[in-house]
Amino acid sequence: MVREQIAARGIRNRRILWAIDRTPREWFIPDEWSAEAYADEPLPLIGGQTISQPYVVALMTSLLAPGRRDRVLDVGTGSGYQTAILARLAAEVYTVERIPELLVTAEARFARLSLTNIQTRIADGALGWADAAPFDGILVAAAAPRPPAPLLGQLAPGGRLVIPIGGRAEQELTVFRRGAGGALESRTAGGVRFVPLLSPLAFDPETRP
């Protein structure tokens, strides 16, 4: 999977490839899908959620570029797969999920992998994690029509926010970077399809269009 689906498509950072290699994807998916664990596709979780395609996880990780001393916020824990990879690369990872059942399962996986630098919370991740801010990196694994203001506000100088921006069906993976002087710049990195970030600050679950 690492060689054929990830390195062959241009993700060459050795630390990132190492972190993915050390994180067994089959531990993060429902048993009935384990035969597909290393296939080049997203897989279903409970509640209509999905674990991203391995290449997309690698691409988002490389756009986030977590350093060893970085503090990272991961929005949309889901299976915990992306969180576990980030925990191998950064100093501390804070992860927020809205579905309690998913978070409980993810926490058991972190324990099984002896990952002790992960803090978890059930909340609306569009609000970020104010008491742990600022973050050097924020990764959002759910789509929003625009970057939620609290997340931009919680970026440290030099910090990166990686988030799919667009409609419910299709989005552009987008990187927002806070410059040392505080200015914000953004660039896009290709088309993706993520589940919606359900929040009054993104796709409001109360007012479904």
Active site residues: 52
Among 25, 98, 109, 178, binds ligand SAH (CB under 6 A): 98
User: Which of 73-81, 110-118, 157-165, 178-186 is the region at the interface with ligand SAH (rule: CB under 6 A)?
Assistant: 73-81
Q: Does 125 bind ligand SAH (CB under 6 A)?
A: yes
Structure tokens at 137: 């990196």
Q: Count the residues of the shown chain that bind ligand SAH, applying the rule CB under 6 A.
A: 24
Dist CA 185 CA 187 (whole Å): 7
Dist CA 175 CA 151 (whole Å): 12
Residue 52 C-beta: closest distance to ligand SAH, Å: 5
Dist CA 178 CA 157 (whole Å): 5
Nearer to ligand SAH, 17 or 99 (CB): 99
Nearer to ligand SAH, 104 or 179 (CB): 104
Among 38, 124, 152, 172, binds ligand SAH (CB under 6 A): 124
The length of the chain is: 209
Using the structure block, give the residue that is written with the tokens 């991740």. 125
Where in the chain does DSSP place strands (E)? 43-44, 50-51, 71-75, 92-97, 118-122, 135-140, 155-166, 171-178, 184-192
DSSP 90-138: SSEEEEEES-HHHHHHHHHHHHHTT--SEEEEES-GGG--GGG--EEEE
Residue 82 C-beta: closest distance to ligand SAH, Å: 4
What is the SS3 assignment for 147?
coil
Nearer to ligand SAH, 16 or 141 (CB): 141
Strand order from edge to edge, sheet including 155-166: 118-122, 92-97, 71-75, 135-140, 155-166, 171-178, 184-192
Q: Does 51 bind ligand SAH (CB under 6 A)?
A: yes
Q: Does 60 bind ligand SAH (CB under 6 A)?
A: no
Residue 131 C-beta: closest distance to ligand SAH, Å: 17
What is the SS3 assignment for 168?
coil
Binding mask 140-169 for ligand SAH (x = CB under 6 A): -xx---------------------------
Nearer to ligand SAH, 112 or 179 (CB): 112
Interacting residues toward ligand SAH by CB under 6 A:
49-52, 75-76, 78-79, 81-82, 96-99, 102, 124-126, 141-142, 195, 197-199
